[in-house]
Chain A
Amino acid sequence: MPDTCTDPYLRCAFNGAAQTALGVAGSALLAHSPQGCEYLVNNAFASQECDYMETMTLCTKLCVDEIVHGGEDLLARTIREAKDLPISALFVISACGPEIVGDDIVGVCEDMQPEVKFRLVPVPCAGFRGSQYDGIDIALDEIVKRCTKNTKEKIPDSVCLIAPHANANPTWIADLDWVQRILSQMGVRVVATLTHRTPLAEIENAASAETSLVVSHDAGQKAADYLSATWGTEQVCTGIPLPIGMTNTQRWLTTLGERFDAQKAAESMVAEGERMVMATCRRKWPMARFLYRTPAAIVADATVGIPLVRFVCEDMEMTPELVALYTSQRTVRTLLERELKELGLTPKVVYGTDVYTTRKSLAEVRPRVVFGSTIERHASEGLGVSYIVEVVKMMRQFRMINREYFGYTGILNLFECVQNEWTMGWRSKERSYKAKW
């Protein structure tokens, strides 16, 4: 069937750009858009866990007049309205409408810069430019090019973390925390995180990082390539899955340890982590062990989905028979194919899946367990799936405390997802009677 009508999992580029801009601390975001796009900004705001007492989002609320006559004057007026905000940067992000009619947000920002105390950072990123992951790449490109200062001096054993927010774990911030923690334990300094609660000053210094580390398989590679080409920043942990599960975590930590001459620290983390996971499981008894070689499907972004293949197959001993990923870049394909070959798996693979394709694939493969989201819970209705383990957004279970999937506690968090779904699956729904009291 042709692919002209899709039911997508991913939001648009405008949303990805907003997610990226809102990861800069002490800034505000001005959406040069009609008022509806503000809701994409709100979603990004929530994803970056912004605090509305610290971060303000504004909108030019474009109407027919601005589409017909142009909205540059209105943009300038709105920037003036915001001139007293106590911020270091105002990111101006343009949506589909103003880009099609040709509003020059870069020009307006240049003209308005002398009137305001904060830095104006234009990010032309209409929704039609691609998916939210494309938007993250576009915004990272603009931000790094516009804000990073030229420096030849590198800080020894330092790193710039890239695209932590391109991750479908609904509480991805815990994954980033874990990465920052283990880097600290290895004596590696994080110069800048692109982006999450990142002060503008950190972004200005990003070029002084000796290395870069992309913490997503879905976005961020372009920024790493730019840092490498322009500032000679060496990328580390390339070509291996992110640290979800025992083997992936061991491999990732070992690679980092080797690069930063911290092998001993890495070995100790692996030993202690594996001991902790096994001891905890010995006490808590994960029910995942009863699902030995049960046919499973993984429907997720590449960041969670690719490492999950080994975790599901090796650590939990299920058999992945369907892997459906939201994205389809060459790097994603190469990495997944390498993993499948190493593991000796031949599941059905779908790149750039949408909800319809997922349902059709589930109907074809008939897995008994699906690792995915609430969408798959409903999309697999009537297909004989016993357990829907919700691990990527959107998820039915709310988390007040952020939970990582990366590292050793991440393994336990994923076991917990399986355990709760397993328990819920046993709950009596139909065969009941009323008690007398």
Chain B
Amino acid sequence: MKNDSIVFHGNLQQLLANVETGEMIPKLQASHAPMCKFFTAYYVISGIRHVVPLVHGPTGCPLYMSDFVRTRECCEIRGVPLEPTACTALDESHVIYGGEGKLLEAVKEAYAKYHPDLIVILSCCCSGIIGDDVESIAREAEKLVGCRVLALRSEGFGGDFRSGYEDAFRLILDLMEPPKKTMKGTINILGARWGPTPTEFNWDMDEIERLLGNVGIKINAIIAGGCTVEQITRAREVELNASWCYDWGQKLGDLMQERYGIPYSRTGQPYGPEATKEWILGVATPLGMEKKALAVIGREMRDVEPDLAYLKKALSGKTAIIEISEFPGPIRALSLARMAEEFGAHPVVINVHPYTIKERMPSIKFLVETGVNPEIILTKGLFKLGSFRSSKETEDELEEIVRTYDDAIFFGNAGRFPPCPVVNLTLMNPVFQPQYGFRGITNIAALVRQALENKDLPRSRLFKGMLYGTRTK
């Protein structure tokens, strides 16, 4: 393919190598700012019931969490009661004289006000730089209140977004008590955050729970997807750990395996029939429940037979252009690439940002090891100043690339306008959720059907103008 806008064309393994050597990391400082360590640490901690995340910093850091995670996501969507987002509200005098004294008082006050099961002190840039010893304060404070008090160094400058949730999961490990028994046929699901799934729509986690339930596998805790402190303390009594997203669960799974010898089922996301089978068997086989799992898989496969047949017929011989964007994210997009290949399409993943490769290196390596190695194209627009997500440049480049294929189908979201059928896989349209598992196959088949049957309908001039302006290239 000859195209001036292409800056990388190879496979995932080659891109990975380029990122590891630093060759593909963009040099523009001003471009692409993902979440900081504090955010992702908070995401994880907020997924524990009756926890007070006590932010040791000014009021700006917790407020995004308070509005977005607590009120909108948890209360409004997930049916969770209003839980506190407490803060020590550091000001200039604390920056000069230190905030440890205030923090100790704040822990006592938080316990008196909210009667939580757990208090987690989260440090921010301020408290980190002035050197407040949050761990010592946590130890001291724990003697004065009636619940566990833990400290998490989550300064925004202290690491990328991955380090925030990894450190938070590592902290959760400290809550786990030595097992008193083994819970037969029971697992933990690792890698969740925020809280339970939304109340009004079925989500990927619901599909996983349904399938596990059909096999007869019980879940002790979804860590940290609305689990209790008590469930965490018993987490070592399970027979196995698993994750619905390798990227998020991997760190805690590995740690629990290393420290406590609890096996961790290493599988990718259950997109499509093969990955779903692998996922279920990856959990059921170590538990000695393979036979029952195979029976469930057989029954589920029969139920989705028409959808599988449709997907094979619809995708066979096509080029599946898959774009990594906000929704779906990079790991999902790579899982989709595998699924597209399974149905006879040739996957081409476009514009997976080297930043996201760098941040998710262990997960991407795992996927490559399991044979996920699609063709990758990166374009110039990806490396321009500012955010790449909705840039006119990347849209123009995508349209140009799609034109070079005879029988392309686009997997991404409807914010793109390529000259081919568009499969709208955004997670922001809950109508076609879940995408995981067997119900996911039915939903994805419906989305592909919509894309192909309606490919000649006019696209929205309004939305395109909104996203990319009305000027021509």
Q: Is A227 an interface residue (CB 8 A)?
A: no
The smallest C-beta distance from B473 to any residue of chain A, in angstroms, reads 15
The smallest C-beta distance from A125 to any residue of chain B, in angstroms, reads 11
Given that A11-B59, A34-B36 are known contacts, is A127 also in contact with B126, CB under 8 Å in the complex?
yes
Interface residues of B in 20-52 (CB under 8 A from A): 28-30, 33-39
Q: How far does the alpha carbon of A97 sit from the alpha carbon of B258 in the complex, in Å?
A: 36
The smallest C-beta distance from B415 to any residue of chain A, in angstroms, reads 13
Of the 9-residue stretches B77-85, B306-314, B367-375, which lies at the interface with chain A? B77-85
Q: Which one, B102, B109, B158, contacts A1 given CB within 8 A?
A: B109
A128/B87 in contact, CB under 8 A: no
B58/A82 in contact, CB under 8 A: no
A128/B94 in contact, CB under 8 A: yes
A15/B82 in contact, CB under 8 A: no
The smallest C-beta distance from A168 to any residue of chain B, in angstroms, reads 13
Sample of 17 A–B contacts (CB below 8 Å): A2-B105, A5-B86, A8-B59, A8-B62, A13-B60, A34-B125, A37-B60, A39-B39, A57-B386, A61-B33, A63-B157, A77-B29, A81-B28, A96-B126, A97-B125, A101-B129, A356-B114
Given that A56-B385, A95-B125 are known contacts, is A36 also in contact with B36, CB under 8 Å in the complex?
yes
A61/B29 in contact, CB under 8 A: yes
Q: Is B287 an interface residue (CB 8 A)?
A: no
Q: Chain A 370-403, CB within 8 Å of chain B: the 1/0 string?
A: 0000110011010000000000001010000000
Q: Which one, A74, A127, A381, contacts B82 given CB within 8 A?
A: A381
Q: How far does the alpha carbon of A396 sit from the alpha carbon of B72 in the complex, in Å?
A: 8
Q: Which one, B37, B107, B157, contacts A97 given CB within 8 A?
A: B157
A58/B109 in contact, CB under 8 A: no
A4 neighbours in B (Cβ, 8 Å): 88, 102-103, 105-106, 109
Q: Is A290 an interface residue (CB 8 A)?
A: no
B35/A36 in contact, CB under 8 A: yes
Q: Is A237 an interface residue (CB 8 A)?
A: no
A35/B36 in contact, CB under 8 A: yes
Q: Is A130 an interface residue (CB 8 A)?
A: yes
Q: How far does the alpha carbon of A96 sit from the alpha carbon of B157 in the complex, in Å?
A: 11
B109/A2 in contact, CB under 8 A: yes
A53 neighbours in B (Cβ, 8 Å): 469
The smallest C-beta distance from A350 to any residue of chain B, in angstroms, reads 15
Q: How far does the alpha carbon of A43 sit from the alpha carbon of B67 in the complex, in Å?
A: 11
Query: Can you name the residue of chain A whose Cβ is closest to the Cβ of B74?
Result: A378
A59/B33 in contact, CB under 8 A: yes
Given that A5-B54, A40-B64 are known contacts, is A100 also in contact with B35, CB under 8 Å in the complex?
no
Q: Which one, A2, A8, A60, A81, contacts B87 given CB within 8 A?
A: A8
Interface size on A, residues (CB 8 A): 63
Q: Chain A 258-288, CB within 8 Å of chain B: the 1/0 string?
A: 0000000000000000000000000000000
A396/B76 in contact, CB under 8 A: yes
The smallest C-beta distance from A84 to any residue of chain B, in angstroms, reads 9
Q: Is A72 an interface residue (CB 8 A)?
A: no
Given that A63-B157, A96-B126 are known contacts, is A129 also in contact with B92, CB under 8 Å in the complex?
yes
A8/B89 in contact, CB under 8 A: yes
B84/A378 in contact, CB under 8 A: no
B60/A127 in contact, CB under 8 A: yes
Q: Which one, B29, B39, B94, B102, contacts A74 given CB within 8 A?
A: B29
Give chain B's interface residue range (CB within 8 Å of chain A): 35 or more
Interface residues of A in 77-108 (CB under 8 A from B): 77-78, 81-82, 85, 95-97, 100-101
Q: How far does the alpha carbon of A410 sit from the alpha carbon of B74 in the complex, in Å?
A: 32
Given that A5-B54, A11-B60 are known contacts, is A58 also in contact with B156, CB under 8 Å in the complex?
no
Q: Is B17 an interface residue (CB 8 A)?
A: no
A67 neighbours in B (Cβ, 8 Å): 125, 129, 157
Q: Is B301 an interface residue (CB 8 A)?
A: no
Q: Is B61 an interface residue (CB 8 A)?
A: yes
The 3 closest A-B pairs by CB, nearest first: A36-B36, A12-B60, A58-B30
B105 neighbours in A (Cβ, 8 Å): 2, 4-5
B38/A82 in contact, CB under 8 A: no
Q: Is B95 an interface residue (CB 8 A)?
A: yes
Given that A6-B86, A8-B62, A128-B91 are known contacts, is A38 also in contact with B33, CB under 8 Å in the complex?
yes
Query: Can you name the residue of chain B whose Cβ is closest to the Cβ of A18?
Result: B60
On A, residues with C-beta under 8 Å from B are 1-2, 4-8, 10-15, 30, 33-40, 43, 52-53, 56-64, 66-67, 74, 77-78, 81-82, 85, 95-97, 100-101, 126-132, 355-356, 374-375, 378-379, 381, 394, 396
Query: Can you name the residue of chain A whose Cβ is closest to the Cβ of B93?
Result: A128
Given that A35-B35, A36-B156, A56-B386 are known contacts, is A96 also in contact with B124, CB under 8 Å in the complex?
yes
B125 neighbours in A (Cβ, 8 Å): 34, 67, 95-97, 100
B156/A37 in contact, CB under 8 A: yes
B39/A356 in contact, CB under 8 A: no
Q: How far does the alpha carbon of A81 sit from the alpha carbon of B87 in the complex, in Å?
A: 36
Q: How far does the alpha carbon of A63 sit from the alpha carbon of B385 in the complex, in Å?
A: 19
Q: Chain B 308-352, CB within 8 Å of chain A: the 1/0 string?
A: 000000000000000000000000000000000000000000000
The smallest C-beta distance from A207 to any residue of chain B, in angstroms, reads 30
A381/B81 in contact, CB under 8 A: yes
Given that A64-B157, A396-B76 are known contacts, is A43 also in contact with B64, CB under 8 Å in the complex?
yes
B95 neighbours in A (Cβ, 8 Å): 96, 100, 128
Q: How far does the alpha carbon of A4 sit from the alpha carbon of B87 in the complex, in Å?
A: 8
Q: Is B214 an interface residue (CB 8 A)?
A: no
A78/B29 in contact, CB under 8 A: yes
A5/B62 in contact, CB under 8 A: no
B295 neighbours in A (Cβ, 8 Å): none
B59/A131 in contact, CB under 8 A: yes
**Which residue of A58, A96, A126, A379 has the most chain B CB atoms within 10 A of its CB atom?**
A96
Q: Is B66 an interface residue (CB 8 A)?
A: yes
Q: How far does the alpha carbon of A67 sit from the alpha carbon of B92 in the complex, in Å?
A: 18
Q: Chain B 136-161, CB within 8 Å of chain A: the 1/0 string?
A: 00000000000000000001111000
Q: How far does the alpha carbon of A35 sit from the alpha carbon of B82 in the complex, in Å?
A: 28
